[in-house]
Amino acid sequence: MATLKQIRQRIRAAKNTQAITRAMKLVAAARLTKAKNKVEEARPYSEKMYEFILSVGGAGELPPHPLLTRRSQVKKVALVLITADRGLCGSYNTNLIKAAKVWLDKQEAATSIVAVGKKGGQFFGKRGYEVAQTISVPTAGADLDDAVKLTDTISEMFTTGEVDAVYLCYSKFISAIRQEPRVIQLLPIEPPQTEEIESGSAKSYGFEPAPEELLALLLPKYLLTVTYQALLESSASEHGSRMTAMSSATDNAGKMIGELTLTANRVRQAAITTEILEIVAGAEALKN
């Protein structure tokens, strides 16, 4: 059984850990509020952009554009994996890595990974997967400049023929305790299909300016919007998961401190009782 000194050392260590986890919980909660606000502000714009692409797709056959080019033979695909730079955020990184690994193992073509956040790149790099690039994002969360850099990177990889398709694995933010890993196709951009298009009764649209000019402006913005939204969703998911994990760790540390304190009191009481018995026995021995 541990001595009273060892138990007190464990209590001090648990209290120090509890102070750290409580501070991390408060920081994550503050960052989550900001990240959640950004997600909620960006979603309406993202939804309207999606609706616009949907309506443009209703025009039927679209003019050629580099971001719409579908390769006849897909030899290599890239997966943009958005994880965190740090741990201590519950199952956030684990769930994303698991979803990405399932998707990668199903691919028949060669695969390459663009890791946004160190955790994903480190995991797959150690297991023999090709990690083309690792991009770090600020601890407080990605901003528009980070989305622009990432969009430029994947656009160049696709338009130069380095890869034939680009997919994105990110975590959609539902709440602080619920995040859903998702894998979606980024490139080539495929306009969403409506029931009218599928049934062959698509409407005829007139474009102003010309369709080529419209697509040259619209498609890069649409790609940037999807990428930026995914970064915001992932940032909010990370902070929510970290806040939940640190809250649980703080509560567990409190329970451990209570149990160790109770054990220390019992050990201390037993030591006092033993000393009293020894004193009484010594006194009785002197009398005899």
List residues with catalytic annotation.
89
For residues 126 and 174, give the distance between their C-alpha atoms in angstroms, rounded to a whole number.
Answer: 31
For residues 143 and 148, give the distance between their C-alpha atoms in angstroms, rounded to a whole number.
Answer: 9
For residues 82 and 165, give the distance between their C-alpha atoms in angstroms, rounded to a whole number.
Answer: 17
- Secondary structure percentages of the chain, helix, strand, coil, to 5: 60, 15, 25
For residues 218 and 141, give the distance between their C-alpha atoms in angstroms, rounded to a whole number.
Answer: 26
Contacts of 262 (CB under 8 A, 6+ apart): none
For residues 212 and 270, give the distance between their C-alpha atoms in angstroms, rounded to a whole number.
Answer: 86
Give the CA count within 13 Å in the CB-facing half-sphere of 271: 11
For residues 133 and 115, give the distance between their C-alpha atoms in angstroms, rounded to a whole number.
Answer: 6
Which tokens go with 135? Answer: 């991009």
Cα 208 to the center of its chain, rounded Å: 40
Adjacent-strand bridge partners of 26? none
b vs e for 151-162, b when ≥16 Cβ sit within 10 Å of the residue's Cβ? bebbbebbeeee
